[in-house]
Structure 1
Amino acid sequence: MTERRPESDRTPTSNPVLRRALLWGGALAAVVLVVSAVLGLVFAGTEGLVSALIGTLMAVVFMGITAASILFANRFASSDLFVGAFFGIVLGGWILKFIVFIVLVVVLRDADWLNPTVLFLSLVAGVIASLVVDVLVVAKSRMPYVSDVQLPKPPHDE
């Protein structure tokens, strides 16, 4: 039997899942970083190494912003303005990612010290690894189908 949470505790039950996704995502990103850096160095030299590092770091940062913004937004769960604050923070994180991505594409587009193929492949590998982690963490989490709901107390027999 699960323990009932007090009504004043409105902390979302998704926080442990998001923290686990960030933790495992960071660990897998480190593996992708090492593998892509070694392959980039082998196949494209120093340009490949730098490109792999930048591509993987871009993937990690962009994927981490979403989970981190949700965790940050969940801090306002006890506020009456939670829904507005939540969507404002999460959408703000997405807009920030979009702007930073466009700026990086424009800045790095003609960089002579980058290998665009290695950069692209490491970015894709990082995104796929992050998605795999998210799917596995959510699939293995023990979240109730209905969370954060207080059921009414049954009427007393009179």
Structure 2
Amino acid sequence: MSPASPVSSTPILRTVLVWSGAVTAVLAVVGGVVGFLVAGTEGLWSALLGVLVAAVFLAITGASILIANRWYGDALYVPLFFAIVLGGWILKFVIFLVALLLLRDQPWIEPTVFFLAIVASVLASLIVDVVVLMRMRVPHVSDVELPTDPDAGDKRAEEG
């Protein structure tokens, strides 16, 4: 496990998580205010919970990939990567089921506000993903080292 991952997706995922955290904070404030104005205290809590649920679900995938990238270069990198990412998806499924069972029929949840907060959070997350990927400068071919002999130099330069 290397402390500084050379994987090109690592800075992208870190940036996405940071921006998503900032957007989540803004959505929590805006959603809370709108939810309160629309449905009172129940709307406030529904909006905050919707934004939080979406943020947790969306962050698990990015975080699991960042964690898995720490093993880049290890002989077991590929199986570890897929095990960690698949484990993150299974964790999301379990959290979804638990949240579904705990939140159904709760009298303090306004379903429409809760649903719209989740949809707004997912759309905002997709926008963050697109903006970050469009602004990041990553070469078309990355994480590759070409087989060269540093002592021999460029053979074509010597021929000409």
TM-score (norm 2): 0.89
Give the AA of the match of 2:103. L
What whole-Å deviation, never above 9, does each CA across 1:94-118 have from its counterpart, x for those lacking one?
1111110121112111101111111
Structure 2 residue 101 is matched with structure 1 residue 102: no
Distance 1:105 1:96 in 2: 14
Q: Distance in 2 between matches of 1:45 and 1:128?
A: 24
Structure 2 match to 1:60? 55
Q: Which amino acid aligns with 1:119?
A: F
Give me the identity figure in percent.
Answer: 54
CA distance in structure 1 between the aligned counterparts of 2:73 and 2:140, rounded to whole angstroms = 21
Question: Within 5 A, what are the aligned runs for 1:9-158?
Answer: 11-153=6-148, 156=155
Q: Distance in 1 between matches of 2:135 and 2:91?
A: 30
Please say if residues 13 and 148 of structure 1, whose CA atoms lie closer than 8 Å, have aligned partners that are also in contact.
yes
CA contact (8 A) 2:13 2:66 kept: yes
1:138–1:110 CA distance, 2 compared to 1 (3 A): same
Cα root mean square deviation, aligned = 1.6
**TM-score, with structure 1 as normaliser:** 0.90
User: Which deviations, in whole Å up to 9, do the C-alpha atoms of 1:68-113 show, x marking residues without a partner?
Assistant: 1110000011210000000110111011111101211121111011
Highest CA radius of gyration, 1 or 2?
2
Deviation at 1:119? 0.7
Asked if the contact 2:5–2:69 (Cα under 8 Å) also holds between the matched residues in 1, the reply is no
The answer on whether the counterparts of 2:7 and 2:72 sit within 8 Å (CA) in structure 1 is yes
